[in-house]
Structure 1
């Protein structure tokens, strides 16, 4: 099997000791999120200020939230995404300038139309295919005006035809987004995120993915004990998850603080040049509801939702009680 970062669910046991049940349990509890494979044209490149920076074609993965993952895998529901995080920007060949193309369209979707030719080197926010979409409100007003004029001149009002036109091919267009539909069969898991969440010892060949192979026995790990433990009882159980390390530092100062308090303390810490808790500068960005942070070697970027932070906090607190 080729070494890659993203795998289908059916490939789970070919690369790690986790069963589909182990993965499903984490997803049901909204503790772990998957990715989705998409392919289409004219995706929109979005800036932090909601400006449209250009269009691009893409075949690759996008990140999902824990809730979206649960809907797809556990409930078998399709979901629609208008905006999402592109996980593999290296698969994008070019950003297309669309300012002239959309200059004549009314625009209430984006703050402005700009152009950035450089393809981002790390994950970035994008949206579904951008183009002319129906402006139902403006179209309804136009049809109403047309009917009033026809009534005033004594003409026959083609009410049914006008209503059909409103829903089939609205006469007034505006700049908008066509959401993408994600189906359960498009789900993928990121082997790096899997290792970060469950511990890299769950991987059958960790050295293939850049992790040290400390597992003495080739037999699968017994999951009635912590997956972060190695099979050698002499070796210490050292925490390798950087976010859990940061949480441990927060708990040293605020042992009984609630998760929202710790989240806000960490947000303030990330803004500092010299950080007290994130001393290794792991976190790239942190908002009110998510953390964007670097993995091993700073060549992999991950997104953690607040819900996952709460789960990680609970795990660290439980571990402290045990030890």
Structure 2
């Protein structure tokens, strides 16, 4: 078997000592996130300010949140995605300019239409298929205006037929996003995330995947470890808030720095293509007084003012000092 980063669930026993039950339990408790593979055209390259920068075709792996992973694996249900994390940008061949194609369409989805030909070098948030869609709010306005005429027609079903035509052949359209359906058979797992979550000892031949255990282990330890998930999950709560995790990373390098300095360091970090502190590209935009980042499903944008940043940083700093 070729060593790669993403594997089908059926390959779990091939690369890991974990059982299917171990993985199912972690996903069910929303303590582990899976990935999915798809092959889709005309996805949207979106800037941190929600401007559409172009379209691209993609055949590769996409990151899921813990909340999205649960219904797919534990309930066998399909889900629909509008925003998601592209994990293999190297699989993108080119970014196509779509300004001329969409410039005449009403747009309440993106902040602007621009063009950037550069393919991102690290994982990034993209939108599902960008296309022309029916503008149902405009169709309702048309229907309200035409309804008096329909009621006067001798055929009592004339109005119903006209309404059907409006829906199937809409005269009003706008720029929109067509959600992508993800099915359970498209699920994958990231071998690196598996090692981070369950411990390097759960991986068979970790060195072959480029995974190195920083803590030296005794050569006399058994090759196959005893995996005890119950003990692992009974450990104290582990912080999962992405902004607090970024704060902890900042405090690792600057334990005595003031909040305003850390704010400026983070703002400079966010402006870089390769980030040192926001390594997962969580933050979509950061100004002088506000941080914006994607929440659940990458379709909800959350905001944090500088004052809130100060308060949360103080709480993280107290936890940091106890360690």
Alignment partner of 1:271 is 2:275:
no
| TM superposition score normalised by structure 1 | 0.71
> Which residue of the partner structure matches residue 76 of structure 1?
76
> Which residue of the partner structure matches residue 225 of structure 2?
221
Deviation (angstroms), 1:224: 3.4
The CA deviation string for residues 26-74 of structure 1, in whole angstroms up to 9 with x for no partner, is 1111111001111111111111111111011001111111111011101
Alignment partner of 1:121 is 2:111:
no
Deviation (angstroms), 1:146: 3.3
Deviation (angstroms), 1:142: 1.7
Asked if structure 2 preserves the Cα contact closer than 8 Å seen for 1:201 and 1:215, the reply is: no
Which range is displaced more, 40-49 or 136-145? 136-145
Secondary structure, counterpart of 1:177 in structure 2: strand
Alignment partner of 1:206 is 2:210:
no
Decide whether aligned partners of structure 1 residues 174 and 67 sit closer, same or farther in structure 2, where only a CA change above 3 A counts: same
In structure 1, how many angstroms separate the alpha carbons of the residues matched to 2:130 and 2:264? 38
The CA deviation string for residues 223-243 of structure 1, in whole angstroms up to 9 with x for no partner, is 13878xxxxxxxxxxxxxxx6
> Which residue of the partner structure matches residue 23 of structure 1?
23
> Which residue of the partner structure matches residue 235 of structure 2?
none
Deviation (angstroms), 1:104: 1.4
Secondary structure, counterpart of 2:14 in structure 1: helix
- Indicate the structure whose relative CO is greater, using CA pairs within 8 Å and at least 6 residues apart: 2
Q: Any gaps of 5 or more consecutive residues in structure 2?
A: 233-244, 270-274, 284-290, 295-318
Deviation (angstroms), 1:2: 0.4
Asked if structure 1 preserves the Cα contact closer than 8 Å seen for 2:35 and 2:61, the reply is: yes
* Aligned-CA RMSD value: 3.6
Decide whether aligned partners of structure 1 residues 156 and 122 sit closer, same or farther in structure 2, where only a CA change above 3 A counts: same
Q: Any gaps of 5 or more consecutive residues in structure 1?
A: 228-242, 254-263, 275-279, 292-316
The 4+ residue runs of structure 1 with deviation greater than 3 A are 146-152, 154-157, 212-219, 224-227, 267-270, 280-291
Secondary structure, counterpart of 2:100 in structure 1: coil
Deviation (angstroms), 1:140: 2.0
> Which residue of the partner structure matches residue 12 of structure 1?
12
